[in-house]
Chain A
Amino acid sequence: MATATAVPRRRNPVMLIRSPLVARALFPVVVVGVWTLIFYGLESQIFPSPARVLDFMWNEVRLETLARSNVYQTFLLSLIRLFTGFAIAVVVGTVIGLAMGLSKSVDAFFHDWVMATLAMPALVWALFAGLVFGFGSLGPILVTAVTGIPYVIVNVREGVRNTPRELFDMATSFGVPRNRMTRHLLLPSLLPFFFAAVRYGFSIGWKGLVLAEVFASDRGAGWMIKYWYDAHRAYAVIGYAFFFVVFALFLEKFVFDRIYARAFRWRPQAGTVEVVEEAAEPSVQQPTIP
């Protein structure tokens, strides 16, 4: 049987490509291929080859850098700022989101401005923070918080609105005490929304942070990208961007996925969250170099 199924596969490469695992592995190969083609097509002095970028990254990892701080120090500082800023976003966003979900007048008070903040380019916050707070850590932290807050608010509010009325009625009819209801009914029902808020708000906050570091800092990952830009080192700009990709993948696979699998092991099929993405992507978000 095994050979019988293997034979047509070998004959038909399309079938092989269709397997999700191969398709996934194929993506970087295609990217590097197209990249190489462009490199030879352009014959540009600035546009780097994949090998040049990899070489830069390898040197950075081995602490051989021209910049004044190495990749570890840079990312450590950015991470501390990110976590601080995002912690603020989670606390403030949860409080406002809860209040908006529970009270119609609080919802009316904040609603339009939450939506407006969602649409606000992080660039504006970054420039503003640079002007007001100078080149310290405070600016980037606040920008991270401000860009993350509306996402946390929107998701937490949706979670509160979607609390399962039927289950609360059930608990009431059985005379379940209030604190047990909060712990075993209210909080677990909010968890998927809270989780979506954290996951999504985190990536948004990260983008805000990088932008803030370009304009309102003299250290950190965003600033380093700007540094290499000023030095006309395209390979280094791309190399740093790849450090971000690696970091984001790591976070996704080893942190979020694991927490998720643990928190939602009761779900028949893991891997699907009801992510509430109102105003899916704000207009300007990518850490673009001016």
Chain B
Amino acid sequence: MAKIAVRDLRKEFGVGDERVVALENVNLHVEGHVFVSVVGPSGCGKSTLLNILSGIETPSSGTVEITQDEEDAHPGYVFQSSRLLPWRTVMDNLLFVQRNPSSKEARERCQRYLDMVHLGDKGDKYPGELSGGMQQRVGIARAFCIEPDVLFMDEPFSHLDAITARSLRRQLHEMWVETKKTVLFVTHDVGEAVELSNRIMVFAQGGRLIDDITVDLPFPRDPSQDEVAVAKAHVLRKFEELDLVAT
């Protein structure tokens, strides 16, 4: 069973007097087949949290611990922009992150996940030949194709148009159900968080985790359903109570 444990995490940037605290006293525990959204205003340290968890940045103090079934496995990461290597084909981009790229199994696995994001026939295209939505789907396939137990996503749909984003959210949900991953999903879109997650963690300016909301509604959720709208309103009200809404 996959697990993410964060204890007393603190992160600050800069030197001397110009220090900025990005995360302060963050504690969280996530375990099993759950979809956890991290929401909050911009600059609240959401992305920094994912960067520390994935090893891109190091914490100033505190510990993070990610347990996966396979001991030295890396979590998958879907970024805000697709972050594909423009000079390698779609298939080669997926192979780039494989542990053993030259093996037949790796290639078959990559093909399987390309099929899953409906890009099975685009393996030999370069990223520049694909639309923004397609590139982001390749990014999702790349995160899944290393078959991690833990998946990080940093506002993966925020650059896309509403219709593409909606269809990708559906695909993502189906893949999450099918592959039973532990997902940590950063977003500033409360509606998106309510639609996808079991749990919503609310961050405030200064990188403090201030609320942990359980969303107990059946999937699939449609934004037009009354319950989903009510849940979204509930989270937004919490935002207002906590004075998080920018005035």
Contact = CB atoms under 8 A, between A and B. Distances in A.
Interface of A: 166-167, 169-176, 180, 184-185, 188, 191, 264-268
Interface in B51-104: 51, 54-56, 74-77, 79, 81, 83, 85-89, 96-97, 101
11 contacts: A166-B81, A170-B79, A174-B77, A174-B97, A174-B146, A176-B96, A176-B97, A180-B96, A180-B101, A264-B87, A266-B86
B87 A188 contact: yes
A172 B126 CA distance: 22
B120 interface: no
A267 B77 contact: no
A266 B87 contact: yes
Interface residues of B, number: 25
Contacts of A264: 87
B121 to A, nearest CB: 18
A180 to B, nearest CB: 7
Contact of A173 (B54, B89, B101, B128): B54
Nearest to A177: B99
Contacts, number: 57
B85 A185 contact: yes
Contact of B83 (A170, A176, A188, A267): A170
B56 A172 contact: yes
Contacts of B55: 172-173, 175
A173 B56 CA distance: 6
A266 B88 contact: yes
B129 interface: yes
A233 to B, nearest CB: 51
Contacts of B142: 174
Contact of A174 (B74, B81, B87): B74
